[in-house]
Structure 1
Amino acid sequence: MSLLELKGLEAGYGYSQILFGVDLKLERGEAATLMGRNGMGKTTTVRSIMGLLKPQAGEIRFDGHPITGLAAYKVGRAGVGLVPEGRRIFPTLTVEENLRAFARSRGNWTLRKVYDFFPRLEERKVNLGSQLSGGEQQMLAIGRALMTNPSLLILDEATEGLAPLIRKEIWEKLAALKAEGLAILLIDKDIAAMSKFVDHHTLLNKGEVVWSGTTEALTNDMEVVNSYMHL
């Protein structure tokens, strides 16, 4: 039984349909990517999973249970943590207040563990969210999601707009989370960096899955994948 499974997912906004029968599977402890150019349906897929957009058709199952159309807070309680595009931290709360706002009593991820994982957050714990750099905000967004003690962590544009050294640190941290057994679904454009620890890749084009396979298969099919990424 897969941890996350999408079958025939269709979704859109008003009369504009964005997804056309998307299928996707993510196993426990696996890291996977959702790739494609801007506007191809990646964020719509994430919003559908998270209960932020009600699908028009298809099914979403998490840990064997149907979550299609569930309210976002129920999806979060089920064990799905989201690091949204644009980070969306609370700018007028301190780092520690941001983290505590998402804390759950169960699980291994505590404030202490998040600070050990991202020492820079402890150094800035009394600073407001608005006073952080872009890299620090992304660390905070990841830490905040970890405070919910998820079984699956979804990151929409994991390193967009970050400096190279910060991107490298984020990739190292995500690889460490995967090594701990956390399942991860990633949206990002840095295929080379993701492929160092990701198991499976799914490529969307105009709301449809046009390629899916392992990292080894991706290496062999880079010409095909690049043709969709750079149309």
Structure 2
Amino acid sequence: MSALLSIENLETGYGPSQVLFGMNMEIREGEAATLLGRNGMGKTTTLRAVFGQLPAWSGEIRFLGERIDGRPTEQIAQMGLALVPEGRQIFPNLSVKENLLAFAANRSGNRDPWTLDKIYHLFPRLEERAQNMGNQLSGGEQQMLAIGRALMTNPHLLILDEATEGISPLIRKEIWRVLGQLKQAGQAILVIDKYLAELMRVADRHAFIEKGRSPWSGDNAALAAEPELWERYLGV
């Protein structure tokens, strides 16, 4: 299975403040992966570098075998990377339907692409709320919409930053159900979240980040065999 996204010895930060110190990570085609760590350890900084929002001071970021560090964000997204950002960032003054159609594309060349009807089937609540404005939705509904909007680009890789942060347990369960479905359908996913038990049910492989470095990565069996890692890197 070839690498879809690879991060090698990445160093970057903000102004004079370095945040990443040789970060390494790999996501393979069709794989569901996680990036785990306490707040402030560099998870979101890693994503910002991947999407061209921060320059790579050193190291490499490759997507589909091509160097993407140094490329503009729009070009990286058009290659088939889609982000469900922390805070969702949906368009508050567009309807649910308009939000979903805003960036509709088939960036991966999917033979059976995501369409409006398929998103409504995945998230029936969005169909019920199709004419509501983005700012009329609950936090959980906004997260459904953000996921649906990202899927409408038909990405090679779907990335979710704080996938279930600040939403009700009922809708959180719905999000995990959907991510499980996407994995079964072969969609490559990278998830950042704090609910380790749910992540282990959805993901194939996991990587920890600690003070801008990647001290451990492995599959579910390896993580389950070393519960001390959970305390060391997550405090759980």
TM-score normalised according to structure 2 size: 0.95
Q: Is the 8 A contact 1:115 1:121 kept in 2?
A: yes
Residue matched to 2:183 = 178
1:167 matched to 2:141? The reply is no
Q: Structure 2 residue aligned with 1:203, among 204, 208, 230?
A: 208
- Runs of 4+ in structure 1 deviating by more than 2 angstroms, as ranges, are none
Deviation of the 1:102 alpha carbon: 1.1
Residue matched to 1:93 = 94
CA distance in 2, matches of 1:79, 1:53: 19
Deviation of the 1:50 alpha carbon: 1.2
Q: Is the 8 A contact 1:48 1:69 kept in 2?
A: no
Deviation of the 1:204 alpha carbon: 0.6
CA distance in 1, matches of 2:233, 2:40: 12
Deviation of the 1:227 alpha carbon: 1.7
CA distance in 2, matches of 1:81, 1:228: 27
Unaligned runs of 5+ in 1: none
Residue matched to 2:192 = 187
The code of the aligned residue for 1:164 comes to P
CA root-mean-square deviation: 1.1
The code of the aligned residue for 1:211 comes to W
1:157 matched to 2:162? The reply is yes
Residue matched to 1:28 = 29
32-41 vs 100-109, which deviates more?
100-109
Q: Structure 2 residue aligned with 1:146, among 151, 161, 169?
A: 151
The code of the aligned residue for 1:156 comes to D
Q: Is the 8 A contact 1:92 1:130 kept in 2?
A: yes
Aligned residues: 231
Q: Percent identity?
A: 57
Residue matched to 1:57 = 58
1:85-125 deviations in Å (ceiling 9; x for gaps): 00000111110111111111554011111111111111101
1:118 matched to 2:123? The reply is yes
Q: Is the 8 A contact 1:203 1:225 kept in 2?
A: no
Deviation of the 1:228 alpha carbon: 1.9
Deviation of the 1:185 alpha carbon: 0.4
CA distance in 2, matches of 1:104, 1:22: 31
Q: Is the 8 A contact 1:31 1:197 kept in 2?
A: yes
CA distance in 2, matches of 1:69, 1:41: 19
